[in-house]
């Protein structure tokens, strides 16, 4: 019987009645009437494990001390108040049920207080123990109080424990007041508390790990009075050694000290830093408010997108790397269906070196599907793009920055304007200078010696537009001069 098991007052009286009946027939602790030899020894309680279920008799076969077919089999006599057989009495005996027995004159007697079912007012529980009424005695002490000696601490299968149970001080503690169980602690703070300095909990399947392991912990609740699982963790497959962590009825959240929702698994998708994941994205990373990066499908195509929290607008995104390689396909800017290696729909600006390979065919420039130029083995360095600039200062201006500029508009509405030189021009760059307001005069100085990029004019001297509209076309040669290619007459 386990330490801490208590006899209820009612059951203690029933055990007393059984002992008195045995005492009446066999004279425990006083001279026996049936035999010539006498003994003053107290009866030793042993444990019997039912070999069969209760039948239509008052005796039952049991294994002695251990529930093992190899152990000794004894026939146990059961005293039933009210008469009848064991299959109509309570407590009802079943296979492997444990009951206390004593041997008197080579006959084994059960100490269970059996009653005929029709006379019994008790529940069918095999045994309820409560310490003989004081609530303090252990089960052996409670039996000793009844005058029955014990030699060890037997256990009872199916016993109802209404007070506390303690085994090995803190090895196993049942808190009958707060309804808690402690292993390794005498004061459990939860329904089950395990306290240990080594491995706390081990789940071990009886089969080999390669193909027969099913050891896992389930979580769930009760629906319609039935168990319903919401998730589990462990090895839930007998076909491998994989470990699973799965939420079966909702989302799976992984967190740390900063937030319980650092990562969310939802509907087969992953969210980092957020709990609601748009179904079009397999992965969304939220860096800050309205700063999100998503990988998923847009229009049935794989997409990497940067967008706001509402997914209603895209936001700027940068890529940082020492090298970018786009292989086995075309690149489109402003189009989702590029038909060449690089197709740009809209204005393109190049702010750096544009290097063309030596294969002429690779340098073809097309417009609306028609070849309009072939670059040949040309290397263009610098910024070339279609951009305009307005010049209206009196001047002379000797350092007009024309980086990336193809057209300079001259405004003489407020004064005469004079241009002597530029900076920022690159080899092969074309520069158009146009007077679009002829209220006053515009002068271009010829080889003014500004130290920057001077103009080389047809006339060999300064040229002036006097209250006239018109202009010049210049091409930069190596970044030192602008050569007049307009063949226009200037006054």
Three-state secondary-structure class, residue 89: strand
CATH class of the domain defined by 383-484: mainly beta
Place 374 in a pLDDT band, splitting at 50, 70 and 90.
low
What pairing do the DSSP bridges indicate for beta strands 370-374 and 364-367? antiparallel
Residue 293: burial class (beta carbons within 10 Å; 0-12, 13-18, 19+): middle
Cβ contacts of 196 within 8 Å, gap of 6 or more: 183, 184
- What is the per-residue pLDDT for 255? 93
Domain map (residue ranges) of the chain: 9-165, 252-307, 383-484
* CB contact at 8 A, 6 and 131: yes
Q: CA-CA distance, 160 to 164, in Å (whole number)?
A: 11
Q: Which of 261-265, 320-324, 473-477 has the lowest mean pLDDT?
A: 320-324
pLDDT of 149 > 50? The answer is no
Distance between CA 154 and CA 238 in Å, rounded? 38
Mind listing the pLDDT tens digit for each residue in 88-123? 888 889 998 888 999 988 899 998 888 887 554 444
Q: State the number of CA atoms in the 13 A half-sphere of 75 facing the CB.
A: 6
Query: Diameter of the chain by CA atoms?
Result: 160
C-alpha of 194 from chain center: 25
Q: What is the pLDDT of residues 338-351, one digit of tens each?
A: 888 888 887 776 65
> What is the per-residue pLDDT for 380?
45
Residue 250 in this model has a pLDDT that exceeds 90: yes
Give per-residue pLDDT as tens, 62-89. 999 888 888 889 999 998 888 889 998 8
Of 2-6, 78-82, 101-105, 449-453, the poorest mean pLDDT is in 2-6
Whole-number average pLDDT of the chain: 77
Say whether 416 sits in a helix, a strand or coil. Answer: coil
**Could you give the CA distance from residue 45 to residue 7 in angstroms, rounded to a whole number?**
15
**What pLDDT does residue 123 have?**
40
Reported as a pLDDT band with limits 50, 70 and 90, residue 214 is confident
Distance CA 6, CA 15 (A): 13
Average pLDDT score over residue span 201-227: 84
DSSP state of 212: -
Place of tokens 């706390």: 200
* Contact residues for 148 (Cβ-Cβ < 8 A; gap 6+): 15, 19, 42, 43, 45, 102, 111
CB 133 within 8 A of CB 163: no
Strands 281-288 and 269-272 turn out to be parallel
Is residue 239 classed as helix, strand or coil in its secondary structure?
coil
């Amino acid at each position: 019987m386990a330490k801490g098991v208590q006899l209820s007052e009612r059951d203690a009286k029933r055990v007393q009645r059984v002992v008195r009946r045995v005492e009446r027939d066999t004279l425990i602790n006083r001279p026996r009437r049936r035999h010539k030899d006498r003994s003053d020894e107290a009866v030793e309680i042993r444990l019997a494990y039912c070999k069969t279920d209760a039948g239509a008799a008052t005796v039952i076969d049991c294994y002695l001390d251990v529930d093992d077919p190899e152990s000794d089999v004894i026939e146990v006599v059961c005293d039933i108040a009210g008469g009848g057989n064991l299959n109509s009495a309570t407590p009802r005996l079943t296979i492997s049920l444990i009951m206390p027995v004593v041997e008197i004159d080579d006959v084994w007697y059960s100490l269970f207080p059996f009653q005929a079912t029709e006379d019994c007012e008790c529940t069918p529980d095999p045994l309820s123990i409560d310490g003989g009424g004081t609530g303090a005695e252990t089960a052996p002490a409670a039996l000793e109080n009844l005058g029955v000696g014990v030699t060890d601490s037997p256990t009872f299968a199916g016993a109802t424990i209404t007070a506390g149970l303690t085994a090995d001080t803190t090895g196993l503690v049942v808190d009958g007041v707060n309804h808690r169980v402690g292993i390794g602690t005498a004061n459990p703070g939860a329904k089950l508390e395990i306290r240990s300095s080594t491995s706390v909990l081990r789940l071990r399947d009886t089969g080999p790990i390669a193909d027969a392991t099913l050891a896992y912990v389930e979580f769930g609740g009760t629906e319609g009075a039935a168990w319903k699982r919401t998730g589990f963790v462990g090895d839930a497959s007998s076909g491998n050694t994989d470990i699973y962590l799965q939420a079966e009825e909702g989302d799976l959240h992984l967190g740390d000290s900063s937030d319980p929702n650092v990562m969310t698994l939802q509907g087969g998708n992953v969210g980092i830093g957020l709990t609601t994941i748009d179904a079009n994205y397999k992965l969304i990373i939220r860096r800050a408010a309205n700063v999100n990066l998503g990988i998923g499908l847009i229009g049935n195509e794989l997409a990497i997108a940067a967008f706001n929290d509402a997914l209603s607008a895209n936001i700027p995104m940068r890529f940082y790397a020492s090298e970018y390689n786009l292989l086995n396909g075309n690149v489109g800017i402003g189009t989702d269906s590029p038909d060449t290696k690089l197709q740009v729909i809209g204005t393109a600006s190049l702010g750096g070196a544009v290097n063309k390979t030596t294969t002429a065919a690779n340098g073809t420039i097309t417009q609306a599907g028609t070849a309009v130029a072939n670059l040949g083995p040309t290397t263009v360095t610098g910024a070339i793009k279609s951009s305009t600039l307005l010049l209206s200062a009196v001047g002379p201006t000797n350092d007009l920055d024309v980086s990336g500029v193809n057209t300079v508009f001259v405004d003489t509405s407020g004064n005469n304007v004079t241009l002597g030189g530029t900076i920022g021009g690159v080899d092969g760059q074309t520069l158009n200078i146009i007077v679009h307001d002829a209220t006053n005069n515009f002068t271009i100085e010829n080889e003014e010696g500004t130290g920057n990029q001077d103009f080389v004019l047809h006339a060999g001297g300064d040229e002036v537009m006097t209250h006239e509209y018109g202009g010049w076309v210049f091409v930069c040669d190596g970044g030192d001069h602008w050569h007049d290619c307009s063949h226009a007459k200037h006054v």
